[in-house]
Amino acid sequence: MVKKTVGLSKRLHMKKTNPRLAAALTLILFLFQHCKPHTPTLGQDPITDVVAAMTLEEKAKLVVGMGFRIPGMPPAKKDTQNQAQDTGASKGPGQGQGLPGVSLPASDPEGDSIAEKVPGAAGRTHPIPRLGIPSITLSDGPAGIRISPIRNGDSSKTYYATAFPVATLLASSWDTNLVRTVGAAFGDEVLQYGADVLLGPGMNIQRNPLGGRNFEYYSEDPLISGSMAAAMVQGLQSNGVGTSIKHFAANNQETDRMTVNTLASPRALREIYLKNFEIAVKKAQPWTVMSSYNLLNGTYTSQNKDLLTTILRDEWGFNGLVMTDWFGGDDPVAQMKAGNDLIMPGSPDKSQKIVEAVKNGTLDQAQLDKNVTHILELIINSPEFKKTAITGKPDLTDHAHIVRQAAAQGMILLKNDDNTLPLKNVHRIALLGNTSYNLIAGGTGSGSVNTAYAVPLSQGLADAGFQLDSPVTTAYTQYLNAAKERIAKENAAKGGLALLFPSTPPAELTLAPGKINDCAHQNDVVILTIGRNAGEGKDREPENDFNLSKQEKDLINTVAKAAHGSHKKFVVVLNIGGPIEIASWRNQADAILLAWQPGLEGGHSMADVLTGKTNPSGHLATTFPANYKDVPSAGNFPGTEFKDKATKGFFGMPVIPAEVTYKEGIYVGYRYYTTFGVHPAYPFGYGLSYTQFVYSGLTVDHATGSNTVDISLDITNHGAVAGREVAQIYLSAPKSTLDKPAEELKAFGKTKELQPGEKQTLHFSLTAGDLASFDPGASAWIADAGSYTVKAGASSEDIRETADFSWAQTTIVEKVHSVLAPQSPIDELKK
C-alpha cells in the first residue's frame, strides 16, 4: 500500500501539479493508509481487543460449533427440510443423510467446506482467520481417543488409538498416581493425533448398577470419583491438551437422557452429585466442563445459570469454558445466559438465534462477550494455536505396556477358595465362554475406541505358556468367526450409526455337557469368562443382563459339576463394565476374578493376575448388590415416562418427556447399605489379595480448636508374597438435626508393593470440610460438634481399626448460595 502511495505521489509530481498540493495530497494519503484501524490478532493483541474487533455475527459463530458428521455418511444437502428439533437423538447425528426416514439437523456450510483436521473427531469450532482465530478440534472419549483409524482412505498410515482400561477399572485401583500415568499416555495420543480437547473424563456418579454408561464413570462415591477424575485431568492436561469433565450434572441414566427431568434435593446434589465435580475442578482445573443432557429440577443443565455460573464459577472458581453435550438443551440464548459458552456440535440456526437475541435486546452483548472470551482463552492455549507439531505417531508400544500394568492393578479378586489362584501346577486349560476369545476391551458409544487390537484371554494364557484345550478352542473360534462376519455385515449396512446402534453380540456358545465333561477331565483347570457390554443411549436391564441369563446359569452349573466331578478347580472371570448378580451362583466357582473391561492388553493383564505375576490389589469402587431390588434407587430408576406427550426426533425416534426422582437422597451405594443394614454380595471397598495384610496402630491426632485431624495407620504384609493394599478411611459423624449415613469414605491410600513382613505407615489429613454435611436450611456446610469415629477398613463392611476424636464446636465451614431447589420438596429416604 505504501508503495502505491509513493507511486501516486510521483505521478502527481510528473503531471507538474502544484508541488504544495501534491505534498498535501501525499500526506493525506499516507495518513489514510497508516491510521486505518489496526485489526487485532489473537495472540498478538489482548483478548479484549480481539473481542472488541469481532462482529456480532462472528461472535455468534464462535460460540456455536461447526456441525458434526457421522463417520461414513455424506454431507447433508443444504436444504431446510432437514431441520430437526434440538432434542431427540440418542446421540445427535449431525450432518448427513442417506437413511430412509431420517431427519437430520441443518448443515453448516463451513463444516462441509473445511476439511476435518482429525477425521472421526466429535466436533470443532469455527475459525475466524481475519482475527487469527483457528478452529480447534474436540474428540471423545474417556477410554481412549475416538477417531477414525484411517484418513482419506489412505491405509498406509493409520491412527489406531490405545483402548485404555475403562474408568470403573481405573477407579478400582484406588491409585491416583496410576490414573495420572494413564492420563499422561492418553493425552500424548490426543496431542499426537491432532486434537485439542479430549471429551472426558466421564465422571457421573454410578447411582444405579444398570446405568448404561457406568463403565465410563468411576464410582458410586464422590471422593473416589472426584479424585480419579482430577488425576486423569492432570495426566491428560500435562500434555498441553484440554479435557472436558462430563456430564455436569445429575446425568445418571441413559433412558430418556435428553428429556429426563432429574428431581433431586439440594443436599443430595451438594453431597453426592456435585461433590465429585467440585473436587475435580478445584484439584485439577480442567480446561472445560460439559453440561449434561438432562433437566435438573425443571431446567436443562445447559440453561441453568445457578449450576453453570453461581456454583461452578462463583463458588468453585472454575475459569475454563463450558460446552453443551451434543445437541443438548433447547434454547441457545438461555445457554449463553447461563454461562454455557459453547454449543456443540452446532448448527447455523443457533448462531442466528443468538444474533437476533442481541439485536432485540434479549441477550446482553456483555454476556456474549464473556462466552466468547472463555473460548478465546482456551484457543490461545491449544495445540492448534501453538502450532504444536502433530507426529501422528504416539508411542503405542509404550502405552500398551502402561495399559497392561494398569489393568492388572484394577482387577479385583472376589473369591479364592483353597488358594485356587494363582494357578499352580497347571499346564492345560479348558477355556470356555465367548469373551475368553473375544475380549470386551471397553464399552460402546462415544466411550468406544478404534483400537488396533484387543488381546483376548485365550491369547494371554497362550502367551503365558499354557496349553489350551484344542477342540474347545476350535469350537469357539469357528463360532465367533461366523458371528463376526454377521456383525460386520450388519454394521456396514448401518454405516456410522453402528456406533449408536451396535449389533447384538452372539449368544453364548452351547457346548454339549459330554464335551464339557471331557474337557474338564482332560485339563488341569476350567476357566469360564462371562462378558457384558453396554454404552451410550441405553441402560442395562435387570433380566438377562444384571441377572445372568438361564443359558449362562446352566453353563456355570454344568461346568462346575464337570470340573468338580474331575477334581478340577473352576475359575470364573468377569469381563464386564458394571455390576452383575453373583450371589446366587458364586458357590459353584472356586475363584472369581473381576477383570472389568481392561483395554487392549486385557488378556495379558488377566493372565498376569491369574498366574500371580501381579498380585491383585483392586478393590470395588462400586457395590455389587445381592439382588437388584436391594439397590436404593431400584424403585426410582429410570423414572416415569410421559408417553402421551411424546414427539418425534432424529430418525423418527420418539422423544418422550420423563422424570426421575432421587428419593434415596444421599443414601447412594454403600452409604445406603451400611446405614440400613442391607448386605450386598460384595461391598464397596472389597477386594482380596494373594497375601494377607494386618492393620494396626490407627492414631488420630486432633488438637482442640485446630482445623485438622491427622490420621496414621500401619499396614503390614503378613503373607508369603509381595502385594499392595488399599487403605480406606471412613468417618462416622455425630447426628444433630441432619440425618447422617453410618459412615462415609473421607480418605484413601494405597501402599507400595510390600514384601512379606514389610510394614508401611500411611498418613491422612482431614479438615473441617471433610467432617461437614450440607445443611439445606442454612445453605451451608456444617461440621457438627461431638464425637467422630475414624474407621480404617479393608472394605466398607470390614472395619479393622477404629479411633474416636471429638470436635469441640459446631462449625459453619462454608456458606453457599441457596440454589437448585426442586419446585416441591422431595420426600427423601431417612434413617
Assess 623 for contact with ligand BGC (CB under 6 A): no
Helix boundaries (H) for 258-308: 266-268, 275-284, 305
Alpha-carbon span 96 to 106, nearest angstrom: 9
Which one among 116, 188, 189, 325 touches ligand BGC, defined by CB under 6 A?
325
Alpha-carbon span 543 to 486, nearest angstrom: 25
Assess 343 for contact with ligand BGC (CB under 6 A): no
- Active-site option among 108, 140, 256, 325: 325
Residue 291 Cβ, how far from ligand BGC at the closest point, in Å? 11
Residue 146 Cβ, how far from ligand BGC at the closest point, in Å? 8
Q: Centre a 10 Å sphere on the Cβ of residue 647 and count the other Cβ atoms it contains.
A: 12
Residue 194 Cβ, how far from ligand BGC at the closest point, in Å? 17
Which one among 64, 84, 122, 198 touches ligand BGC, defined by CB under 6 A?
122
Cell numbers describing residue 521: 477331565
Which one among 12, 171, 199, 264 touches ligand BGC, defined by CB under 6 A?
199
Please give the size of the binding site for ligand BGC, defined by CB under 6 A. 10
Residue 447 Cβ, how far from ligand BGC at the closest point, in Å? 7
Alpha-carbon span 459 to 404, nearest angstrom: 14
Q: Centre a 10 Å sphere on the Cβ of residue 777 and count the other Cβ atoms it contains.
A: 11
Residue 275 Cβ, how far from ligand BGC at the closest point, in Å? 21
Each as own residue / partner, the long-range contacts of residues 70-73 (CB below 8 Å, 24 or more positions apart, any chain) are 70/94, 70/95, 70/96, 70/495, 70/496, 70/497, 70/499, 71/119, 71/120, 71/148, 71/496, 71/499, 72/495, 72/496, 73/97, 73/98, 73/495, 73/496
Assess 294 for contact with ligand BGC (CB under 6 A): no
Assess 288 for contact with ligand BGC (CB under 6 A): no
Cell numbers describing residue 96: 448427513
Residue 656 Cβ, how far from ligand BGC at the closest point, in Å? 17
Residue 126 Cβ, how far from ligand BGC at the closest point, in Å? 17
Taking the least distance from each CB to ligand BGC, the nearer of 94 and 749 is: 94
Q: Contact at 8 Å (CB) between 617 and 726?
A: yes
Alpha-carbon span 754 to 760, nearest angstrom: 8
Residue list 692-721, contact with ligand BGC (CB under 6 A): none
Taking the least distance from each CB to ligand BGC, the nearer of 210 and 426 is: 210
Instruction: Enumerate the β-bridge partners of residue 792.
Output: 729, 801
Residue 422 Cβ, how far from ligand BGC at the closest point, in Å? 38
Alpha-carbon span 522 to 512, nearest angstrom: 16
Residue list 388-447, contact with ligand BGC (CB under 6 A): 446
Rounded to 5 degrees, φ, ψ at 472 are -65, -45
The continuous run of DSSP H or E covering 324 comes out as none
Instruction: Enumerate the β-bridge partners of residue 782.
Output: 773, 812
Instruction: Enumerate the β-bridge partners of residue 726.
Output: 750
Taking the least distance from each CB to ligand BGC, the nearer of 199 and 527 is: 199
Taking the least distance from each CB to ligand BGC, the nearer of 47 and 322 is: 322
Closest CA to 608 of 620, 593, 619: 593
Alpha-carbon span 831 to 817, nearest angstrom: 27
Cell numbers describing residue 731: 468417618
Rounded to 5 degrees, φ, ψ at 618 are -75, 150
Assess 326 for contact with ligand BGC (CB under 6 A): yes
Residue list 213-242, contact with ligand BGC (CB under 6 A): none
Residue list 133-152, contact with ligand BGC (CB under 6 A): 140-141
Taking the least distance from each CB to ligand BGC, the nearer of 273 and 670 is: 273
Taking the least distance from each CB to ligand BGC, the nearer of 122 and 700 is: 122
Residue type, 581: E
Assess 174 for contact with ligand BGC (CB under 6 A): no
Assess 180 for contact with ligand BGC (CB under 6 A): no
Residue 296 Cβ, how far from ligand BGC at the closest point, in Å? 16
Which one among 69, 91, 151, 404 touches ligand BGC, defined by CB under 6 A?
91
Assess 538 for contact with ligand BGC (CB under 6 A): no
Assess 104 for contact with ligand BGC (CB under 6 A): no
Taking the least distance from each CB to ligand BGC, the nearer of 91 and 313 is: 91
Answer yes or no: 325 catalytic: yes
Question: Which residue bears the cell 485438622?
Answer: 708
Residue 242 Cβ, how far from ligand BGC at the closest point, in Å? 13
Assess 59 for contact with ligand BGC (CB under 6 A): no
Assess 117 for contact with ligand BGC (CB under 6 A): no
Alpha-carbon span 145 to 162, nearest angstrom: 8
Taking the least distance from each CB to ligand BGC, the nearer of 91 and 353 is: 91
Q: Centre a 10 Å sphere on the Cβ of residue 734 and count the other Cβ atoms it contains.
A: 16
Question: Which residue bears the cell 434435593?
Answer: 265
Q: Contact at 8 Å (CB) between 747 and 729?
A: yes
Q: Contact at 8 Å (CB) between 294 and 260?
A: yes
Taking the least distance from each CB to ligand BGC, the nearer of 247 and 569 is: 247
Taking the least distance from each CB to ligand BGC, the nearer of 199 and 408 is: 199
Mapped onto helix, strand or coil, the DSSP state of residue 154 is: strand
Residue list 238-257, contact with ligand BGC (CB under 6 A): 246
Helix boundaries (H) for 256-392: 266-268, 275-284, 305, 332-338, 348-359, 365-379, 383-386
How would you class 722 by CB atoms within 10 Å of its CB: exposed for 0-12, middle for 13-18, buried for 19 or more?
middle
Assess 258 for contact with ligand BGC (CB under 6 A): no
Assess 297 for contact with ligand BGC (CB under 6 A): no
Assess 581 for contact with ligand BGC (CB under 6 A): no
Assess 73 for contact with ligand BGC (CB under 6 A): no
Positions marked active-site: 325
**Interface contacts to ligand BGC, rule CB under 6 A:** 91, 122, 140-141, 199, 246, 325-326, 446, 536
